[in-house]
Structure 1
């Protein structure tokens, strides 16, 4: 990466989700916490049960680029470890302040890939007291499915759910059982692609993206996705795409013309193919500085967003349906639902 691509610590204290209101700690219901430490982001969500769902009481997000350079070095760098320690220390303090004793803290592709992941986990434990669990790709796809299922169109037969990460991309087919249009969707075949926004941008470049380099990124993703699409892409009538990632929410924010990111307007937004193509074309026409100055992108995503769009376009090409629903939710929500189901606060699916 050039000097322009050096990571800048960035925090997003996102708007509340799953009910929005903040209940009092005196409600008597326990607080649950979920941390998702990904290749690019560290995210925290703290919530309390509410009816058959939950209400968020606190959240935190910081871009730390944990996986920066792993493809070439095979290791999580010292600088990335320090950024992770800083972000997770904030998460620890928030969990303690909210008395969130029921916790799940996961790490994904960067830790799966790094040669020094054991050393990293030990450092995190020593510095923050947080015990990270490195989950496998199947668990990651399952948690994303649980977290995003509420956004499935009630009239749809199913969805192609995708989660574009920093180091990998999960694609899952969720289908309602035949003859049961009101039944909850069932997780079907899935794949974890070994490409994400960080790995793709590091390989092809993310600052000065030409039409040719963009096409090369789409082709690289398509190469990994093709066998899965050939096996599972011929029965998609009555289905839609459901996307969760910073890429998809950024495209949605750009489409809406937001002067600042607003989760309430983005989560659940429907976009058709023309909307998506227009937003991607607008991104392609921007310089790196214009992307960095855009309120829905910023310096922290300016060198990654076109790599994410290439992944999105490869998925759209493989599964040519007419609509995409945008999800500003995913693994953390899936972890919260799982824990609350285990404790009897949320009914089983």
Structure 2
């Protein structure tokens, strides 16, 4: 019997919703929805979900939950990540969501977030041979998963995300040369503690801003996850995008063909993080995945573990 469920992933930058049909131990995605709600706006400095972010995210959850019910989902599973791991008023937000939906948010640890990203991605890249690094670039943190022949050998989470990096280093628009060089240097010196050069390693990037890089590379008039998934972006093409974004203000970035409008103000921070990862790995390209935590949750549900 086919069962339809929804998964809502409350991230620091974006809320993502996936509605899927479960049948015979497998899932088939029916709808993918996202709302850029910036739960972690100014979180690093204030330590709390601001009143505006609180209300904005609760409104989006009401909308997405209603869409899940309208789509005849028998269950809606909620997970939260970095923003809800660190905000001092996270419990208040979780309770507010429960009042609205009667659903509890499961707040994932950094390791759980990494492993679900891996599980969701491997479901569409099943033939993994040799060494692979998957990174999931989020708003407040980034998760790294190292695999050998499809089996996780190491995974961890670092408090480096696109919102945090943008807020810390992108002080002017366009960014100044000095601020960009400082951002790159600090990211490089931080990430080199975790990543060593392995030129034969396959690298897979996950996350909305990573997917935006693929959309721009293809100059898509409307974002299309099916077209972006599996896109191979070279180091040289990534550097061309970075040089473009460094020279533009946010208004100009919004006009770049293929640019999702909600990503224009964080695209430079995200692209720079990816650039550092590729340089440290010593690889000339990476593959983009539109899958992530929500698909890992679906896979675990199919496996009877939720």
Instruction: Compute the TM-score of the two structures, normalised by the length of structure 2.
Output: 0.92
The alignment partner of 2:3 has SS state of coil
Structure 1 residues 283-313: Cα deviation after superposition (integer angstroms, max 9, x where no partner): 3233321112335334422221111111111
Match of 1:17 in 2: none
1:320 aligns with 2:293: no
How far residue 69 of structure 1 moved from its aligned partner, in angstroms, is 0.9
Q: Counterpart in 2 of 1:192?
A: 157
Give aligned pairs, total.
305
1:110-149 correspondence runs (5 A) = 110-149=83-122
Q: Partner of 1:268 in structure 2?
A: 230
Which residue of structure 1 aligns with residue 11 of structure 2? 38
Structure 2 segments unaligned to the other structure (5+ residues)? none
Quickly say closer, same or farther: Cα 1:151–1:270, change in 2 above 3 A.
farther
Partners of 2:126 and 2:274 in 1: how far apart?
Answer: 20
Tell me if 1:57 matches 2:27. Answer: no
Instruction: Determine helix, strand or coil for the equivalent of 2:146.
Output: strand
Specify the SS of the correspondent of 1:296. Answer: coil
Does structure 1 retain, via aligned residues, the 8 Å contact 2:7–2:76?
Answer: yes
- Is contact 2:8-2:78 (8 Å) kept? yes
Q: Counterpart of 1:208 in 2: which secondary structure?
A: coil
Match of 2:66 in 1: 93
1:74 aligns with 2:47: yes
* Structure 1 position 101, deviation (Å): 2.4
SS at match of 1:342: coil
Deviation at 1:155, TM superposition (A): 6.8
Listed one character per residue, the Cα deviations across residues 228-272 of structure 1 (whole Å, up to 9, x for unaligned) are 12xxx25x3532110011221111111112222222221011122
Judge conservation of contact 1:214–1:307 (CA < 8 Å) in 2.
no
Range with greater deviation from structure 2 (262-271 or 43-52): 43-52
What's the CA shift for 1:65?
Answer: 0.2
